[in-house]
């Protein structure tokens, strides 16, 4: 390493909770990833037959009653339910039991769209039956903070409660901000991650009409193709990913399992376009460099890159240029993982899923392959592979980008490195 941390505390990841189209729970999720399982299918949540894009990655085995009381189920909708469920899984995984009314454990959760899909559903009921047809829940279910506040209520957490709506970078931003709060001594632990429940007719249709999603409707399992020559857009997904973060010394003292550490966080903005990234990748590269500086790590020390890899023609090309800019000639040799071809793109939740995959890739010495990578785009000089690869990586960077030109990067260190 190039130097000691500038922070007061190291930050350990001790619990990970996943609700995803590939499975609920971290182990099911990881097993599906390394097996090359693909969750993208023809959308069945509603009739999308008139849409140009008809492929999605749905969570079809989620039962909210498995994770919360009947009363909580009645007073939440899918977005908040995913948040509570993933948090419960993360806390159980960490064997971390918050103290009653704990004011030293914070919550940071990101989401691109919050409860907008539920608002759409209720608007349809309003148009059909008037104001008395809607659920009273609507007033407290459409804002992004319904995720963090329901988690606080369910688990009695009275620390900082922060929701962000930083588009597809939101989950990574939440993890990064929680990392800094713990590292700087503001709190001793945090729940942090992302959640998204966007599969509704209007929301899905809005992305379809701007042609950002794949139209490979005849081959839904092959629709999302990060860095492939024939990629044509992302596949929308739903789900949640939550981390339990805590002071490293506290985790060691209580004998917790440690997946790894968050040791750097970087942010940047393109200030260029609402949907298109800066073509030269300079905005994304600045976020990567900022994360490396924050971690006091040199580019040559990074041994694995988790790419945003959305399968968009523009975004994948821009990200490849950003990697080359941030890592120089070595950028073409560092192994890159990009798993959206399997689980789809859950907008604000995806950064948390991918940070989890990065930590497990280091812990379990396996870099997942890209099952839908038939021919790597020859214009993109990135080290991706169709098959799983053996790895000894101990230091990684996970990258996220979003609409509006929001870029976030996390530096992750393997446990014991």
Q: Which residues are catalytic?
A: 168, 308, 345
Q: Look at phi and psi of residue 405 and say left if phi exceeds 0, alpha if psi is from -120 to 50, else beta.
A: left
Token readout for 216 is 């490979």
Please compute, for residue 195, the number of CA atoms within 13 A of its CA located in the half-sphere on the CB side. 33
**In this structure, are residues 309 and 340 in contact, taking their beta carbons and an 8 Å threshold?**
yes
For residues 319 and 306, give the distance between their C-alpha atoms in angstroms, rounded to a whole number.
11
Which H helix or E strand runs over 70? Answer: helix 70-74
3-state SS, residue 62 = coil
Distances (CA, A) of 360 to 104, 365, 370: 28, 8, 16
Residue 125's Cβ-count burial label (10 Å; 0-12, 13-18, 19+) is middle
Token readout for 22 is 């590939």
For residues 326 and 228, give the distance between their C-alpha atoms in angstroms, rounded to a whole number.
22
Closest CA to 219 of 208, 241, 235: 235
How would DSSP label each residue in 207-258? HHHTT-B---TT-GGGS--TTBTT---B-EE-EEEEEEEEEHHHHHHTT---
For residues 63 and 299, give the distance between their C-alpha atoms in angstroms, rounded to a whole number.
43
């Amino acid at each position: 390493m190039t130097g000691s941390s500038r922070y007061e505390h190291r930050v350990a990841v001790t619990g990970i909770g996943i609700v995803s189209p590939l499975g609920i729970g971290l182990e099911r999720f990881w097993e599906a990833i390394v097996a090359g399982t693909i969750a993208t299918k023809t959308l069945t949540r509603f009739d999308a037959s008139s849409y140009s894009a008809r492929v999605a990655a749905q969570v079809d085995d989620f039962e909210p009653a498995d994770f919360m009381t009947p009363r909580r189920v009645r007073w939440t909708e899918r977005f908040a339910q995913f948040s509570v469920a993933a948090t419960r899984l993360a806390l159980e995984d960490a064997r971390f039991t918050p103290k009653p009314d704990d004011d030293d454990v914070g919550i940071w959760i990101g989401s691109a769209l919050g409860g907008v899909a539920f608002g759409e559903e209720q608007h349809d009921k309003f148009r059909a039956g008037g104001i008395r047809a809607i659920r009273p829940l609507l007033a407290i279910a459409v804002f992004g903070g319904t995720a963090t506040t329901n988690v606080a209520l369910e688990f009695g957490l009275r620390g900082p409660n922060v929701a962000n709506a930083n588009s597809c970078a939101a989950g990574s931003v939440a993890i990064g901000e929680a990392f800094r709060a713990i590292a700087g001594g503001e709190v001793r632990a945090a729940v942090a991650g992302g959640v998204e429940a966007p599969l509704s007719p209007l929301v899905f249709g809005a992305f379809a009409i701007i042609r950002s999603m794949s139209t490979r409707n005849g081959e839904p399992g092959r629709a999302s193709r990060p860095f492939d020559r024939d990629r044509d857009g992302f596949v929308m997904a739903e789900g949640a990913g939550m981390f339990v973060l805590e002071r490293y010394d506290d985790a060691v003292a209580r004998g917790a399992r440690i997946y790894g550490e968050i040791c750097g966080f970087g942010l940047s903005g393109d200030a260029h376009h609402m949907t298109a990234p800066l073509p030269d990748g300079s905005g994304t590269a600045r976020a990567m460099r900022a994360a490396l500086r924050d971690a006091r790590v040199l580019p040559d020390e990074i041994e694995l890159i988790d790419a945003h890899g959305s399968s968009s023609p523009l975004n994948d090309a821009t990200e490849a240029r950003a990697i080359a800019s941030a890592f120089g000639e070595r950028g073409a040799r560092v192994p890159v993982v990009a798993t959206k071809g399997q689980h789809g793109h859950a907008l604000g939740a995806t950064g948390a899923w991918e940070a989890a995959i990065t930590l497990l890739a280091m812990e379990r010495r396996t870099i997942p392959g890209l099952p839908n990578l038939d021919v790597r785009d020859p214009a993109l000089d990135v080290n991706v592979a169709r098959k799983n690869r053996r790895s000894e990586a101990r230091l990684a960077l996970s990258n996220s980008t979003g609409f509006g030109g929001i870029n976030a990067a996390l530096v992750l260190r393997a446990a014991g490195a």
